[in-house]
Structure 1
Amino acid sequence: MEGGSETPKLKLDIINISQTSQIQFGLRTEDYQRYRQYLTRRLLRVRKALKTSLGKKVYQNKINDPKNVIDARYLLIVLLKTERAWAYAMDLKKQDEQEDAPRKHHHMERRFLKAEKHALQLEKFCVATCDDYTIAEAQAYAASIKAARYTNIQQWVQARDENIVAKAIFELLIEIGDSSLKQIYEKKIEESQTIDRYCQYNLRHAGNIPDPINTNDLISNIKSKLSKNIQNKETSLPMETITWRSKQIKVSEKVRTQMVTYDSIEKEFNKITGDHLKRYPYFDKMIAQLIQIERVIKNDFINIERQNIKSKSVKSEIELENQKTLLSFVVYHKMKYLYERNQILSKIFFRFLNGEKSQEDLSISRKKKKVGVQDLVRIYGDQIKIFTSMVDNRPDTSSSASSLVASKDNEAQLLLLRSYRIYFIGLNLLAAKKWSETNATIEKILSNVQQIKKITKSQDIVKSATDLEDLVNKVKSQIHANAFMEQLSTNEDLKNQMNSLTIQSSEKSKDLLSGIENYDASFLEEKKLVEYPPQLQPTTTKPMFFDLAFNSCEFPSLENRKKAQSKGLFGFWK
């Protein structure tokens, strides 16, 4: 205490630093030698920065008194020494299993003991100089190191009890700790569960299973120290956390203030039901607010990426993933409201094209003086992009049965939007009197409609597809009539054929098929559709015909045309 003010408490992310170092420097492939060599180099760098190098010329005593710990980097030195001793022990254990060398086994035990010694020293320093959260992490870390040592020397009861302590503290930190470290704590709990099962298995074989240690007093003590964190969590500010894709994400203060404004607008919007005239202005307000939130999140995202370039850690990677998830939440809702707004606008524009104008429609589209087919083509082009982005950022990305049905519905809806866009493009081509191109768009729409009905079972989507099919069929007959009239005006042969048509016939038809080119109804007297049996007609002879009939034909004998062969010795010269 100096001048009536307390010395500030130190803070060190023990679990984050250890896990990040292990993942980045060798333990992904269980290369313990590479990991401890990295720790040695890092220890040297930290000692040089603190000017506490232990050289031969100028010897400096090691810091063993917590009063001399005035910087968090002194705690980092003890943590790195613990990790180095543990990594050396694990490397010797791996070699002992492969070579069965007794000396390496004894060396391994000494290294585990040294790691335990450094872990207890780290816990002692943290209790004296650090905040309560760092103390809890140090206790859990020391318990896990001790559990590893007891497991190695086959003291199953002590290993189980230390493992239970570490697991209980990690479970408490998940509840009241930093949300960005939740995944790291869960991973440590999974590791402790594996060790716990191994200890229980060996204890069952030993036959004597004592009761496990009671951690209620320890957890209640840690909870009482971390009561401020618990109170802050219970009295959290509105929109401080966002739940999206089964994740609970804590947002920054800048994002939170923007989210509160958005939430108030959304609540007012949800109160209004059925009235498009009153709901429509809220779409622009919510979309504008979500765009501002998106801009703030992207700036935070860029800052985290820049920090990762300098020093990447597991915590920063988790924060980056949380920012991506939060950005997905904002983009989904922005696209959702933009999609609903454009759907209302497209229906109003379509009514304008059909000459149906109401006062409500005019008030919504007051900025648009004249509506054309090209406006609807543009709107549906935007709708395709918006809907695709909305599907990419949807809340449910699992592979369950309900999500598979939803994905099929999304595929059908996207195909329906494309079909509507093609329909309005076809109307543009129809206005330009391009009949063949318009007919091609119609055939494409009809094939899309049939495909939509096969993909989805949603009644709304099928109804919209059926309505589109009815619109297309109306246009289809108009296209065929206009195309025929244009061809009639340009093609002289067709024009002459049409002029030569008459409803009177010089000959009476005996059946329907023979009089199909005239309008004579005399075949009704004979009551015949076709002449049966039909008259014989000459057929061109081809080799294929004879090849097929060869086995059924009886050919005339040609024996009498053969010349008689002469017999005798001189018959050849006759």
Structure 2
Amino acid sequence: MSKTGEQQPADMEVDSSAAVEEKQAVKFSINVLELMREAQMQHGLRQSDYTRYRRYCSARLRRLYKSLKFLHGRGKYTRRNITEPTVTDVRYLHIVFYMAERAWSHAMEKKTAGTNAQQRIYMLGRFRKAVKWASLFSQLCSVKGDSRTSLEAEAYASYMKGALFFEQDKNIEAAMINFKNTRAVYEELGKYGSIENQLLCRQRIEEVEPMIDFCSHKLGGSSLQAHELLDMANDLLKAKMEAVLSETRSQQAASMTEFNWLGRRFPITNAKTRVSILKAQQLEKDLNSSATESIAAEKKLGIFDKIFSAYHDARSCIRNDLASAGSAENIRDDLNGLDKAVSAVLGLRTIERNQLLVSIAKSKLTKHRDEKNERITKPEELVRLYDLLIQNTMDMTDLVSSGRNKNEEENSFIHEYELKGLAFRAERL
């Protein structure tokens, strides 16, 4: 009995420590843009009343402090800092957010009132404080928030930094980098979620774009250098963006149960296969959207490379499933059909990519070398590209013809690509 009694506290201690670890592992979720818009529109900024909004932020902070019992003492004020261990409730993140909003609204209040030299110094001080709180908000969200919250907080902090640099009128390149980082995040987030979320992201982008244009205008000849700096800065956000996009794809992939190709349906049971195919389809959608018509051909080639990578990942998952399927004929037939369909789509995108290469080569065929010594196309290089296209079309028709009991869509597809092969042969001559 005594041994049992001694053992129970140890077990309880292990359970309690596990519970604490589980509690610490919880990731909070905040739709930062929606929270900000709702607060601003309902409390003064619809009429550009920054004073009213600042007072609302102060009142909101008082309520948050009281509800969390996170008070600063009676009599003498003693600030209690919010650090990572402090954030055990999402309301602590709200406190930091509203501190940033209050400082920003105070700065905007001074700005719209018309400032002399002394008031301008005070206004810039408020902007610096807004940046300080926004940076802390981003830092805490990166640890305590989920991937989307972290990314939105990063965009929020970038906007505040851009606003400070913009108002200081000293480091315009840094302002443009931060504004473009903000725009890049909301362009990605605007592709997913509800219509309301997409609209909010679009509105935020429209707010930032005039500032980017102004910065670009002021930079003049050094704008190219700013673009190079922007590319470096965007790399810092790529990991977070990819985390959010992967999370969104995983959620969307849960409803993707089959792959349709030429009138046939192939079930997809592997979650990794679904995510890879969904990623490829999203890239295809981006490639074919009207927004990409003005994109340079080299960037389109980069999108094609990502599409190929996604489909290759899908094929790898399918073939791993085939290897572990054993002798289950139904499963193997479905997997073989899916592998064939994905391979066919990959072949189609290869043809499209090679056609793009042909158009690039043709545009350089008659060019003379300019001052940059741009490489021009030799006729034999164009012939080689057409040889590739001819081989691609032959591979496609062979792949689709390999099945038995072909349906009408497959026969039509084979005929279409036989004609395309003849057209490529004619152009080669």
Normalising to structure 2: TM-score of the pair? 0.51
Give the distance between the partners of 1:69 and 1:58, measured in 2 at CA. 25
Matched, 1:173 2:189: yes
Alignment of 1:287-436 (within 5 A): none
- 2:387 paired residue number: none
Which residue of the other structure, out of 116, 120, 125, is the alignment partner of 1:101?
116
Alignment of 1:139 onto 2:158: no
AA partner of residue 178 (structure 2): E
Match of 1:196 among 212, 217, 220: 212
Greater RCO between the two (CA within 8 Å, min separation 6)?
2
What is the CA distance between 1:199 and its match in structure 2? 0.7
Are residues 1:118 and 2:133 paired?
yes
**SS of the residue 1:2 aligns to:** helix
Identity %: 29
How far residue 66 of structure 1 moved from its aligned partner, in angstroms, is 0.6
Instruction: After TM superposition, give the deviation of residue 63 of structure 1 in Å.
Output: 2.8
Q: Is the 8 A contact 2:107 2:124 kept in 1?
A: yes
Measured in 1, the distance between the counterparts of 2:163 and 2:241 equals 26
The answer for the alignment partner of 2:50 in structure 1 is: 32
Q: What aligned pairs does 1:3-18 form with structure 2 within 5 A after superposition?
A: 3=19, 5=22, 7-18=25-36
- 1:164 correspondence with 2:183: no
What is the number of equivalent residue pairs in this alignment?
233
Higher helix fraction (1 or 2): 2
Distance 2:106 2:33 in 1: 19
Question: Of 168, 184, 197, which residue of structure 1 is paired with 2:200?
Answer: 184
SS of 1:211's partner is: helix
How much has 1:33 moved relative to structure 2?
A: 0.7
Q: Counterpart amino acid of 2:252?
A: K
Query: Which contiguous aligned blocks of 4+ residues in structure 1 show a shift greater than 6 angstroms?
Result: none
Aligned mates of 1:14, 1:223 — CA distance in 2: 15
1:63 corresponds in structure 2 to: 81
Task: Provide Cα deviations, 1:49-85, integer angstroms capped at 9, x if missing partner.
Answer: 1111224337664233211100010000111110110
Counterpart of 1:232, as a letter, is Q
After TM superposition, give the deviation of residue 46 of structure 1 in Å: 1.1
Counterpart amino acid of 1:108? M
Q: Is 1:208 aligned with 2:227?
A: no
Counterpart residue number, 1:495: none
| Aligned mates of 1:10, 1:211 — CA distance in 2 | 35
Which residue is equivalent to 1:462? none
3-state SS of 1:53 partner: coil
Corresponding position of 2:143 = 128
Q: How does 1:83-102 map to 2 (within 5 A)?
A: 83-96=101-114, 100-102=115-117
**For 1:402-423, what per-residue CA distance to the aligned partner results, in whole angstroms no more than 9, with x for missing partners?**
xxxxxxxxxxxxxxxxxxxxxx
Contact 1:25 1:34 in 2 (8 A): yes
In structure 1, the residue matched to 2:39 is 21
Structure 2: which 5+ residue stretches go unaligned? Answer: 1-16, 258-429
Equivalent residue in structure 1 for 2:168, among 135, 153, 167: 153
1:233 partnered with 2:252? yes
Mapping of 1:450-465 within 5 angstroms?
Answer: none
In structure 2, how many angstroms separate the alpha carbons of the residues matched to 1:116 and 1:174? 24
Report the 3-state secondary structure (helix = DSSP H, G, I; strand = E; otherwise coil) of the residue aligned with 2:30: coil
Cα RMSD over matched residues? 2.0
What displacement does 1:2 show?
Answer: 2.2
> Are 2:41 and 1:41 equivalent residues in the alignment?
no
Deviations 1:266-324 (A, max 9, x none): xxxxxxxxxxxxxxxxxxxxxxxxxxxxxxxxxxxxxxxxxxxxxxxxxxxxxxxxxxx
User: In the alignment, what sits opposite 1:488?
Assistant: none
Inter-partner Cα distance in structure 1 for 2:252 and 2:238:
17
Distance in 2, Cα, partners of 1:58 & 1:72:
28
Question: 1:63, 1:69 within 8 Å by CA — same for their partners in 2?
Answer: no
Question: One-letter code of the match for 1:112?
Answer: F
Contact 2:192 2:198 in 1 (8 A): no
Q: SS in structure 1 opposite 2:60? A: helix
CA distance in 2, matches of 1:80, 1:187: 21
CA distance, structure 1, for counterparts of residue 120 and residue 77 of structure 2:
33
Contact 2:166/2:172 (CA < 8 Å) preserved in 1? yes
